Structure 1
């Protein structure tokens, strides 16, 4: 009887783990995404950034810390989640001016993960701006239909530096022309537009910004194009990070967190409030709550994620389209009555605000 109870308990544990999108194996080699993750809003150039907007898979106690580098550069230290190689990082500038922030590099230091971030004004002028940042590393399968994948393309045409695909397939990157690449994520397909995409430039020496365009899903794969530009509006070969999420948080996690969502503002001239369609691009983890978008002036979009606004949290934004436009956050989002209110997503062509499609993703630690 005791042996029967033991077997039954093991069966129930495995069933519970599978329901949460996990596997029964205890090693990271068999874990379902993610292994490690962390996010923060970096609003200082030295010390501890805003505790309301930082969390991670590290033990209770330590915090994210920041140290200054050169002009416009900071080093973000995520405690106790360092990995020798791999993972992916995204950053979004938070400013009321035409600026962006990019990743220069990331690496393990002791038990920690350190990310070098550089921010620029349009034209390539180094200048610090507050920014949101998220780091994650994943391995293992994820039961369909949920899907998650990422690619780090090395600077200077160095090929794929790290990648993950929750179907177990290998992602494929094909350079097309100056500053343009096709990305295929096999096994993560859908019959129509579904999920969310985030893209961040990675370059240790040159100002660069990257975005997504030409999204073509099929049942077999997600196919899209990454486009990058230099300090102004010229196409430019650089490194980049891309993450695709479908019914998973930008960190790769499932439950927890219970509170996450994403949306695709694919009609940026719509004064709103409107809910983007198809519904699969406008996901909210707490139905019947949903997300809506309201115009706040040319190039400004107020995005509300209803019912999932819980501190600590993070927001990332990526522009979509074939041109040189880019997007950032006008100010740090807020949580009000359970809603997460992004006021606003701001998009630019050079230094002029323009209506531009964009991807927005929100995640809480809980």
Structure 2
């Protein structure tokens, strides 16, 4: 049924492209997103703060609480339902958020998000959310790829080199993703989010081993008490592009990996996985019990931040509080990581984008 629905969506997208509603691929820079949206959802109902929501085509995002831990976010101008969604909890406690599902809304695109405490108790937690859907190709060094794995097969996929992304299942809770045609070294940024409508689930980057095949990423997922779990998930890869898939616009975006979380800092991560569209030197340092990521020169509202943990264990990472923007400097000064219910040092991928 999902594949039939997906075919219908692609057919509708093709009709929209013919009608001029979705930009067609027109050259080396054609891999801009067809549609995208992001928001910081901090209330049970109503529009998210204007300073932290962006949408293309333009519109006003809304959210509504429908169950004890189910929030429905509506992107009213987005007609497609493939693409990918990522969410990041904003809490200093051992909690997380995951995507339950997404599909047609009234109007536009509806994304359902669930949040949990460690152990599995449902809870409302503020969160950031980003959605994007892309087409076309890109010339290096810029690159974008994503896929949605529904627990059994690839349900949505995109690669800016026109390569065919693939997933190989390993032991329970472990998958190997191959994104062909992309750089054969560890460069760029990754984001991973669990997708499960029925049970608590957390997903992360377990390993990153690019090869001649392209970018090779291991995804690991865990249940409410850190046991390996078979579930669905989304993955995005970007290089010199925003998490929304675009560049110029947005002119202001950055990403980095905290490659050395035990280093007090401030230190500049390797340029292989740290990029700033304004050429500023991204830095990472302690802000105990959190980590502090600074992106200079790109702070323009409205904006979005996403965080994903990196490593083979059950540790998970999020935003311990809202980031700040002052004088074009972005301070993501509360990156929080947990092992069970305890704070821990953990490698993380952090990505920032403006809508501008």
TM over 0.5: yes
Q: What is the CA RMSD across the aligned residues, in angstroms?
A: 1.3
1:177 aligned residue (167, 171, 176) = 171
What does 1:197-208 align with in structure 2 at a 5 Å threshold?
Answer: 197-208=190-201
Mapped to 2, the partners of 1:26 and 1:106 lie a distance apart of: 21
- 1:261: Cα distance to partner? 0.5
Mapped to 2, the partners of 1:214 and 1:330 lie a distance apart of: 24
Q: 2:333 aligned with 1:343, yes or no?
A: yes
* Residue correspondences, number: 333
Tell me: CA distance 1:67–1:145, structure 2 relative to 1, closer, same or farther (3 Å): same
- 1:209: Cα distance to partner? 0.2
Q: 2:304 aligned with 1:330, yes or no?
A: no
Q: 2:280 aligned with 1:281, yes or no?
A: no
Runs of 4+ in 1 over 3 A off after TM superposition: 25-29
Indicate the SS of the match to 2:92: coil
Q: 2:96 aligned with 1:97, yes or no?
A: no
2:136 aligned residue (129, 136, 140) = 140
TM-score of the superposed pair, with normalisation by structure 1: 0.89
Encode CA deviations 1:203-222: one digit per residue, 9 max, x unaligned. 01110000002201235400
Partner of 2:60: 63
- 1:109: Cα distance to partner? 2.1
**8 Å CA contact 1:33, 1:166 repeated in 2:** no
Mapped to 2, the partners of 1:234 and 1:26 lie a distance apart of: 45
1:291 aligned residue (282, 297, 319) = 282
- 1:290: Cα distance to partner? 1.8
Mapped to 2, the partners of 1:274 and 1:101 lie a distance apart of: 29
Mapped to 2, the partners of 1:228 and 1:26 lie a distance apart of: 37
Encode CA deviations 1:142-163: one digit per residue, 9 max, x unaligned. 12221100010003x2x00101
Tell me: CA distance 1:67–1:27, structure 2 relative to 1, closer, same or farther (3 Å): closer
Q: 2:254 aligned with 1:264, yes or no?
A: no
**8 Å CA contact 1:92, 1:131 repeated in 2:** yes
Partner of 1:47: 46
Indicate the SS of the match to 1:52: helix
Indicate the SS of the match to 1:218: coil
Mapped to 1, the partners of 2:62 and 2:108 lie a distance apart of: 11
What does 1:229-268 align with in structure 2 at a 5 Å threshold?
Answer: 229-268=222-261
**8 Å CA contact 1:28, 1:140 repeated in 2:** no
Partner of 2:156: 162
TM-score of the superposed pair, with normalisation by structure 2: 0.91
| Structure 2: tracts of 5 or more residues without a match | 1-19
**8 Å CA contact 2:253, 2:352 repeated in 1:** yes
Partner of 2:112: 116
Tell me: CA distance 1:27–1:121, structure 2 relative to 1, closer, same or farther (3 Å): closer
Mapped to 1, the partners of 2:198 and 2:39 lie a distance apart of: 24
Partner of 1:186: 180
**8 Å CA contact 2:186, 2:215 repeated in 1:** no
| Structure 1: tracts of 5 or more residues without a match | 1-24
Partner of 2:75: 78
- 1:297: Cα distance to partner? 1.8
Partner of 2:83: 87
- 1:82: Cα distance to partner? 2.3
- 1:28: Cα distance to partner? 4.0
Mapped to 2, the partners of 1:106 and 1:46 lie a distance apart of: 18
Partner of 2:311: 321
- 1:126: Cα distance to partner? 0.3
Mapped to 2, the partners of 1:223 and 1:53 lie a distance apart of: 32
**8 Å CA contact 1:346, 1:353 repeated in 2:** yes
Encode CA deviations 1:259-308: one digit per residue, 9 max, x unaligned. 0000000100000000112x121100011x1210011124x101110010
What does 1:25-40 align with in structure 2 at a 5 Å threshold?
Answer: 28-30=23-25, 31-40=30-39
Mapped to 2, the partners of 1:257 and 1:185 lie a distance apart of: 24
